[in-house]
Structure formats: structure tokens, C-alpha cells
Amino acid sequence: MIKILFVCHGNICRSPMAEFVMKKLVRYLQAANPQVADFEIASAATSTEEIGNPVYPPARRMLASHGIDCSGKTARQMTLADYNHYDYIVLMDQNNLRNLRWILPRDIYERELAQIQDARAPKAGKVSLLMDWAGKSRDVADPWYTGDFEATWRDVNEGCKAMLKAICNQQ
């Protein structure tokens, strides 16, 4: 079982988009190849601002326009238990990385931060940035500020496809 947690600030736009895109990619892959491992995929926030709120309507519409249903998803905050449970903690931007310092013990946070900042091993720990999987050292476009959900869709797709390919190549 491969366990992935996608994380953004509020868990109403980018991380749920990544969660549901990855779930769709995995379903397609497993349909084509039943030998593919099972996955547990979820998403969470670094903040408490949106806890309990559904996926933001424009993000929901973007997913729906690509045949993806995210109904029932509500925002929740990441916990230390999540860090211990998931194999991969995938962040959408550098601000999410900084906010982990309030969730993780200092020694774990500093170790993960050092590994992400090491250009030779940006995915050596549990914590990574989604666009690093696609070989791009930049944040996933934040539609909360840009209003450009299409750009976020493209980033999330590119990052999730690259991540899934890398994980499958490790198996």
C-alpha cells in the first residue's frame, strides 16, 4: 500500500485537486495493469481556516469539467499522525513547507527541510513539493490568488503524473 497525502494552505483548492487527480490516474493505471500496488490518497491543510468547508466551487467545477467528482470532501488540517501514517507528504508551495513547522516536531521538520533544500535529493524524505516531481522547482499556481484554475489544473496534472511514474518505477 502506497500512502500519499497532498497538502496546501486551506485544503479547498490545490490539495483536493491533486488528491482527486491522483486517484483518477491510479484508477486508470490499475485498470490497465492489475499488478499496480494499492494506494491510499488524501489531502489536508496546514491551516485551520477552512476546516469543514467543501472544495472551493471553482476548483470543484474544474475537476467536474474533467470528469472528476470530489463531492463529500471537506477540509481538514494535517496532523503529526498523518506524517507518521503517510509515505509521501506532498506540498503545493514553499509557504506550506514553512507552515509544517507548526505541525511537526522541530527535529523532523528540520530534517525534512534540509532534504528538500538539498538539490541532489529533493525527494529523499517523506516531504516533497509537487512540482519537484516534474523536475520544476516552483510552486503550484495558487488559484485563490490568481483566479486561474486552469493553470492550477495543468500544474497538478503534470506533478501527479510525474510522481506516479516515479513511484511506479521504484516498484
Q: How far apart are CA 9 and CA 47, in angstroms?
A: 6
Residues paired with residue 130 on neighbouring β-strands, in sequence order: none
Instruction: Single out the catalytic residue among 93, 132, 139, 142.
Output: 142
State CA 131 to chain mean position distance: 10
Closest residue by Cα to residue 99 from 15, 171, 1, 4: 15
57-75 burial by CB neighbour count: b if 16+ within 10 A, else e? eebbebbeeeeeebeebeb
8 is catalytic: yes
Instruction: Single out the catalytic residue among 13, 14, 60, 139.
Output: 14
* CA distance from start to end of the chain: 11
Instruction: Single out the catalytic residue among 8, 13, 70, 160.
Output: 8
14 is catalytic: yes
| Residue that the C-alpha cell 488524501 belongs to | 42
142 is catalytic: yes
Show the cell assigned to 168.
511506479
| Residues designated as active site | 8, 14, 142
